[in-house]
Amino acid sequence: MTTGSTLEAVGRPLDRVDGAAKVTGSGRYAAEFTPPGTAYAALVGARTASGRIIGINTGAAEDADGVLAVLTHRNLPKVAAPPHLLPSLAGHAAPGESFFPMQDEVVHYFGEPVAMVIADSYERAQFAARQVHVDYARDASVTTLDEGRDQAYEPEAIFAGFLPARSVRGDIKAGFAAAAQRLDATYHFAANHHHPIEPSATTAVWDGDRLTLYDATQGIVASQRTVAALLGIPPSKVRVRASFVGGGFGCKAMIWPHVTLAAMAARWVRRPVKLALTREQMATSCGHREEQEQRIELGATDDGRLTALRHHKLSLTSPFDEWAEPSLSIAAQAYACPHYEGVYRLIRGNTMTPTFTRGPGETTGMFALECTMDELAHRIGVDPVQLRLRNHAHADPNTGHPWSSDGAQECYQRGAARFDWQSRNPEPRSERDGNWLIGKGMATAGYPVFFPMQPQRARARLYADGSAVVQAGTQEFGTGAATAMTQVAADGLGVPLHQVRFEYGDTDLPNVAATVGSAGAGMISAAVHTAVTALRDQLIAQAVLDPASPLHGVDPAAVVVSQGRMELRDDSGTGETYRQLMERHFMTDMDALGSWSPPAPDVPYGLATFGAQFAEVAVDQDLGLVRVRRMVGVFAPGRVLNAKTARSQAMGGMLWGIGQALLEGAVTDTRDGRWANAGLGEYLLPVNADAPDVAIEFVEVPDPVVNPLGVKGLGEVGMVGAAAAIANAVFHATGYRARELPIRIEHLL
């Protein structure tokens, strides 16, 4: 933190500033804008995973009441340039896949849009969409790992070229040769869907050649740039607004075809168009966590020190992109293991390009590693917490650089104490509660710290009456960013919280990148902090230069601001309020723009957020039912901006771990490559009765490297390790080692 302000608001458990709008239902989400004359678009998805359209009959749909247009590959305008996958943190156009539908007659995946019906009401659009008849020449398809195993290959790089497919350190053979203990386990992960409760939606409104989009997005700038690029119009003509977004979890982090299709539809019918995906379409329109398999080979000494770690992943990607969620990062960094080999292998299948899904990659990678670590602990008779402490990497094992901040050890220790880990009898099947077998498990949590690739900007305005408006082109989808940024702004400017309004959700505001990969809190707070402190310093400088000010001639660095009053740090009697200064100079208000440049990617520090997860389960041995009874999570996310919303975010992540461990698995019907459980009636999500009370603690470690306030983010790390802790607890309860997620009843019978 720079000098000149004190932290009064930051960290406090303030109620959400947008909470009242949410509990009253007055906040408006993307599909809740209905300008006069709004028409409704409905998408028709392909009924095969691979093939060609050989006939498409739109007559009945066109004749249906109220239909304004039916668009197919025959008449939909071509995109200006083919899209190229690029993660939205880059701040550029960020299509979720290098593909745009309805450009020709070829079908690549089930559910790919093949027609779009636009009508004057929602019901009429939906009805007419069902009247579109499409004939396909079907080709063989690959929609599961098993169908494509013989085609697996090792690419050069994954993740839009950002991550090499193979990484090594040390000498893996020597590492295994030195091992007294060897473990080898393969884990299978079903594909997952995000299913935020708000389905993705876009309302598109043209005014001449200018386009406004109300979009359900994790990156308004990404939406703006993607649509502009695909339509071939300048981004200055596209304005994206998102005041409220009903959850993202990664599926709104990249910009998928429906957003541009809504704009095309509105241009075609010359009316505002609302396009909301149906719940089933959410499974085929905005990515998923890919089906994958991970093999862990571990070498260790008899006292559990790791000597070698081989971690291979095989996953299914699309025909267009070499995408795999990065599963091998934290698992390679968490422990001081000298010899390492990580490899991604891919199978090209007939699915859309997979995408970020909460805890992207690390949550599966750490599941595999942490279950294997538990196995090692059990085999050699070392307590699982001790095993982690023994192996914790005190510097980034990839580079030898020190962590920018750590805190892992304290997380293990505080978590163990809070959970009462020491009372656990390590013997499996040793504890019972009636017919329930009780088990306790733990795992390491971790997530990398990512930086955006461009300067992040915000603007601050202070009015002479002491009230302030602070703006950044970000969006709030439940993270608590709007509230936390209000706190950051109040402290940086030195004014009371209630005087600050934070504005966001509009690309007319200064740009920040999409909020993905837990980078949001760090980069937005950095931009906001830079803007408000620039404004503060500007006013202090003016006072210092002003002969009429009590601060005339003082050292600006000796001035602090509190409650809107600039005063000497060591002599609070000497000073004046912003208001006095501004009124004396006939000023109504003052602005400043802040621009924060992220550290270079090669900054000489290891960058990660660590934590520890603990879970207790009860397993009914006759019915195979698993109930998670309690969870404890301790995380070291740098600075916590708002204790209340941070707690909620970590809790959400941990409870997602229940879904990953026990409930969530997308099932493919290989006959037509269809997700067989696309709706919420079939794809099981945790409900209230699945979710135990959760205890959360934060270890606040100062981090002078990552950004001005030392914020490392919490959105992902809360989920990483949670499923592993549950699976390890299931082992402790039953003796069953999960090799497949989700764990199902039949595994336990």
Q: Which residues are catalytic?
A: 716
Residues sharing a CB contact under 8 Å with residue 740, sequence separation 6 or more, in sequence order: 187, 188, 189, 190, 747
Site membership for another protein, residue 694 (CB under 8 A): yes
Site membership for ligand FES, residue 19 (CB under 6 A): no
Site membership for another protein, residue 27 (CB under 8 A): yes
Site membership for another protein, residue 688 (CB under 8 A): yes
CA distances from 251 to 96, 195, 282, 357, 580 (A): 9, 8, 9, 7, 49
Cβ contact 594:458 at 8 Å: yes
Closest alpha carbon to 254 in 283, 291, 219:
219
| Main-chain phi, psi angles of 315, to 5 degrees | -145, 165
Cβ contact 447:363 at 8 Å: no
Which stretches of 460-519 are DSSP H helices? 481-493
Site membership for another protein, residue 655 (CB under 8 A): yes
d(CA 229, CA 92): 10
Could you tell me the smallest distance in angstroms from the CB atom of residue 25 to ligand FES?
12
Q: How many residues bind another protein (CB under 8 A)?
A: 64
Compare residues 478 and 517 and give the one whose CB is closer to ligand FES. 478
Helix (H, G, I), strand (E, B) or coil at 41: strand
Could you tell me the smallest distance in angstroms from the CB atom of residue 291 to another protein?
21
Q: Report the chain's C-alpha Rg in angstroms.
A: 27
- Tokens 């862990």 correspond to 296
With CB under 5 to 8 Å by kind, the binding choice for 199 among another protein, ligand FES, none is another protein
Read off the tokens for 108. 């690549």
With CB under 5 to 8 Å by kind, the binding choice for 195 among ligand FES, another protein, none is another protein
Residues sharing a CB contact under 8 Å with residue 418, sequence separation 6 or more, in sequence order: 614, 632, 634, 695, 697
Site membership for ligand FES, residue 27 (CB under 6 A): no
Cβ contact 291:98 at 8 Å: no
Could you tell me the smallest distance in angstroms from the CB atom of residue 648 to another protein?
5
Q: Which string of x and - marks every residue 168-187 that binds ligand FES (by CB under 6 A)?
A: --------------------
Site membership for ligand FES, residue 633 (CB under 6 A): no
Site membership for ligand FES, residue 510 (CB under 6 A): no
Helix (H, G, I), strand (E, B) or coil at 634: strand
User: Using CB atoms, what's the residue nearest to ligand FES?
Assistant: 197
Compare residues 22 and 392 and give the one whose CB is closer to another protein. 22
Could you tell me the smallest distance in angstroms from the CB atom of residue 240 to another protein?
18
With CB under 5 to 8 Å by kind, the binding choice for 648 among another protein, ligand FES, none is another protein
d(CA 410, CA 699): 7
Compare residues 478 and 492 and give the one whose CB is closer to ligand FES. 478
How far is Cα of residue 260 from the mean position of the Cα atoms in its chain? 22
Compare residues 403 and 683 and give the one whose CB is closer to another protein. 683
Instruction: Examine residue 686 and say whether the peptide bond preceding it is cis (omega within 30 degrees of 0).
Output: no
Site membership for another protein, residue 174 (CB under 8 A): no
Site membership for another protein, residue 121 (CB under 8 A): yes
Q: Which stretch binds another protein (CB under 8 A): 441-449, 549-557, 574-582, 688-696?
A: 688-696
Query: Which of 52, 279, 565, 585 touches another protein by CB under 8 A?
Result: 279
With CB under 5 to 8 Å by kind, the binding choice for 681 among ligand FES, another protein, none is another protein
Site membership for another protein, residue 440 (CB under 8 A): no
Could you tell me the smallest distance in angstroms from the CB atom of residue 428 to ligand FES?
36
Compare residues 365 and 659 and give the one whose CB is closer to ligand FES. 659
DSSP string, 242-294: -S-----TTTTSSB-HHHHHHHHHHHHHTS-EEEE--TTTHHHHS--BPPEEE
Site membership for ligand FES, residue 446 (CB under 6 A): no
Q: Which residues of 461-483 are buried (b: 16+ CB within 10 A; e: fewer)?
A: bbbbebbbbbbbbbbbbbbbbbb
Site membership for another protein, residue 583 (CB under 8 A): no
Site membership for ligand FES, residue 247 (CB under 6 A): yes
Site membership for another protein, residue 64 (CB under 8 A): yes
With CB under 5 to 8 Å by kind, the binding choice for 31 among another protein, ligand FES, none is another protein
Q: In the range 277-306, which residues lie near ligand FES by CB under 6 A?
A: none
Site membership for another protein, residue 676 (CB under 8 A): no
d(CA 577, CA 560): 11
Query: Which of 195, 241, 312, 712 touches another protein by CB under 8 A?
Result: 195
Could you tell me the smallest distance in angstroms from the CB atom of residue 685 to ligand FES?
10
Read off the tokens for 698. 């934060």
Site membership for ligand FES, residue 653 (CB under 6 A): no
With CB under 5 to 8 Å by kind, the binding choice for 344 among another protein, ligand FES, none is none
Strand runs labelled E in 384-529 = 431-433, 436-448, 456-463, 468-471, 500-503
**CA atoms within 13 Å, Cβ hemisphere of 283:** 21
Read off the tokens for 226. 């993607």
How many residues make up the chain in this entry?
749
CB atoms within 10 A of CB 207: 10
Could you tell me the smallest distance in angstroms from the CB atom of residue 694 to another protein?
6
Query: Which of 478, 505, 611, 721 touches ligand FES by CB under 6 A?
Result: 478
Q: In the range 190-209, which residues lie near ligand FES by CB under 6 A?
A: 197
Angle between helices 520-545 and 481-493 (to 10 degrees): 20
Site membership for ligand FES, residue 686 (CB under 6 A): no
With CB under 5 to 8 Å by kind, the binding choice for 380 among another protein, ligand FES, none is none
Helix (H, G, I), strand (E, B) or coil at 579: helix
Site membership for another protein, residue 123 (CB under 8 A): yes
Query: What sign for the dihedral angle of Cα 532, 470, 580, 570?
Result: negative
Site membership for another protein, residue 16 (CB under 8 A): yes
Could you tell me the smallest distance in angstroms from the CB atom of residue 498 to another protein?
16
Site membership for another protein, residue 59 (CB under 8 A): no
Site membership for another protein, residue 246 (CB under 8 A): yes
Site membership for ligand FES, residue 20 (CB under 6 A): no
Largest distance between two CA atoms of the chain: 84
Read off the tokens for 88. 């939205």
Residues near another protein (CB under 8 A) are 15-16, 18-29, 31-32, 34, 64-65, 121-123, 127, 194-199, 244-249, 276, 278-279, 477-480, 644-645, 647-649, 651-652, 655-656, 679-681, 685-694
Residues near ligand FES (CB under 6 A) are 197, 247, 478
